[in-house]
Structure 1
Amino acid sequence: MTEQIQRGVEDRAPELVPLNAIFATDFVQILVPVTTASTMNEVAAAVAHHVEGKRVRALPFPKFVIHNGRHLPGEMTVAEAGIAPLDHIAVEYDLPEGQS
């Protein structure tokens, strides 16, 4: 029992987290399934997969996730970010200075 109490959230099996997402300049919000163990880089790729090159022109730049106004680090997991099921996120291109 003590061992179970000492184990943290990171020891739990990944759980499904459906997210409402919008990608860059897209006009359609989509529902994207990720897990609590997914990193922000993986979340950004999952969202981009449904939109990039279809409704939004693909650009050769990295992508990042915004949740509640916070630019989240790429290696942060959904659980670490505190993102809950059906939360809204945005995925944007990390454009070099001076490009838009």
Structure 2
Amino acid sequence: MTGTETAPEPELVPLNGIFADDYSQLLIPVMSNETVAELAEKVAYHSEGKRVRKQDKEKVVYHESRVVPMHLTVAEAGIKPLDHVRVDYKD
């Protein structure tokens, strides 16, 4: 990025998300500038400790059959509106 360019404005990215072995997929709103780690917590919030037993493990995010690095932003990871993500506990 040069000195004259500015970062794009964050955009709303509604995602289809499911956590671990939950039976319910949810529509989760995230922002394009949020990290994948933040996305994981938003998806887990609705299931963890409710329909899915809470575990003391790190989480991992799968998008298009690949593990997404947690430090990337949603935009950097190439996650687009209405894409499907699965969040699970790391083995």
Range class of TM-score, shorter chain: over 0.9
Gaps of 5+ in 1: 96-100
Counterpart of 2:30 in structure 1 is 34
Percent same amino acid among aligned pairs? 51
For the pair 1:49 / 2:45, whether they are aligned, the reply is yes
State the 1:40 CA deviation. Answer: 0.8
Q: Give the TM-score normalised by the residue count of structure 1.
A: 0.84
> Equivalents in 1 of 2:41, 2:84: separation in Å?
16
Aligned length: 89
More helix as a share of residues: 1
Counterpart of 1:85 in structure 2 is 81
State the 1:79 CA deviation. Answer: 0.4
Gaps of 5+ in 2: none
Q: Give the TM-score normalised by the residue count of structure 2.
A: 0.92
Shift >3 Å, 4+ stretches: none
For the pair 1:25 / 2:21, whether they are aligned, the reply is yes
Largest Rg, 1 or 2? 1
With a CA cutoff of 8 Å and minimum separation of 6, indicate the structure with the bigger relative contact order. 2
Match of 1:12 among 8, 11, 32: 8
> Equivalents in 1 of 2:47, 2:27: separation in Å?
12
